[in-house]
Amino acid sequence: MTVMMKAKEAADLVYEAVRTRVEQLNGKGVRPQLAALLVDGDPASAYYAQAKRKVADKLGVQFQLHTFDKNVSEKQVLDLIDRLNKDPEVHGMMLELPLPDHLNTPAIVKSVSPAKDIDGITPDNKLATITGEIGLYPATPQACIRLLKHYGYRLAGKHVVLVGRGQTVGLPLFHMLQREQATVTVCHSRTPDIGAHLRHADIAFVAVGRPETVNRHLVHSELVVIDAGINEGDNGRMIGDVAQDVAEHVAAITPVPGGVGTLTTALLFENLLKAVDIQLQARGGEL
């Protein structure tokens, strides 16, 4: 019988640890605070920003939401980021992406302090993700590995196939998997036969942003599948990058929704507390 690797239990464990740490920090005069920057025009970004506010409220985390008009100038965005970078009471920042085309996204991302970049998207944190040095790693790749381990699956010595090499999930996940001592094969749009690789894999991570990239004809009964895709399907329902009927033909799989995305949100707040520690240590303190 296929194991459905739901993330609620793993996420709840993270949230409980975060809530406990927030209470400890509050007792010592530190109130973890997160600032989200949103440009009007993308309903999905607005939804996710409000969802993070609700989670922050439950965890006792201070939350700021800065909303810009869709015609905002680049200077206005950069000025706010500079102010938040300099504010010692703001410990984490999130840019709700994508930004409008008239804004220079790479320049705006680069302007965020790496010590407050809880999404792990700045150049410094991307490099840290590659090298394994101290930094804030992107939450979705972390969630992929954390959820797999939560269900007792090992990566060391396993043949792992990673479908997707994007900057947000695939590329950082590739480097994290190597540090886990997995043997990693990367498949992408120019791979002629993805199934030839999946049929010999122990574990598959799928992160391409395209529905049903992996179907039941490409998998086998002993395969463990982590689906990191979130796409809008018919009637507005959320679907992954793996076809739904694959669940009947593999050993274990993450659901969408209720899988990687659920744990990703929790790990953003874990990253926020890591950011607090990094900033305190930079100022010569430790709590």
Alpha-carbon span 266 to 13, nearest angstrom? 9
State yes or no: 165 annotated in a binding site. yes
Nearby residues of 272 by Cβ (< 8 Å), 6 or more positions away: 18, 32, 34, 61, 91, 92, 118
Distance of alpha carbon 197 from the chain centroid: 25
CA distances from 165 to 6, 161, 187, 200, 208 (A): 24, 11, 8, 20, 7
Query: Look-up: residue for tokens 């991570």?
Result: 205
Cα separation, 174 vs 169, in Å, equals 9
| 261 in a known ligand binding site | no
What strands lie across the sheet with 3-4, from one edge to the other?
3-4, 252-253, 224-227, 203-206, 159-163, 183-187
Asked if omega into 98 is within 30° of 0 (cis), the reply is yes
What is the spatial distance between Cα 263 and Cα 5, in angstroms, rounded to a whole number? 11
Strand positions, DSSP E, 192-282: 203-206, 224-227, 231-232, 238-239, 252-253
164 is in an annotated binding site: yes
**β-pair partners for 92:** 34
Q: Say whether 139 sits in a helix, a strand or coil.
A: helix
Is residue 64 classed as helix, strand or coil in its secondary structure?
strand
Q: CA quadruple 145, 170, 256, 248: dihedral positive or negative?
A: negative
Does the annotation list 216 as a binding residue?
no
The rounded distance, in Å, linking the Cα atoms of 161 and 147 is 17
Residues contributing to the annotated binding site for NADP(+): 164-166, 230
Give the residue ranges of the annotated binding site: 164-166, 230
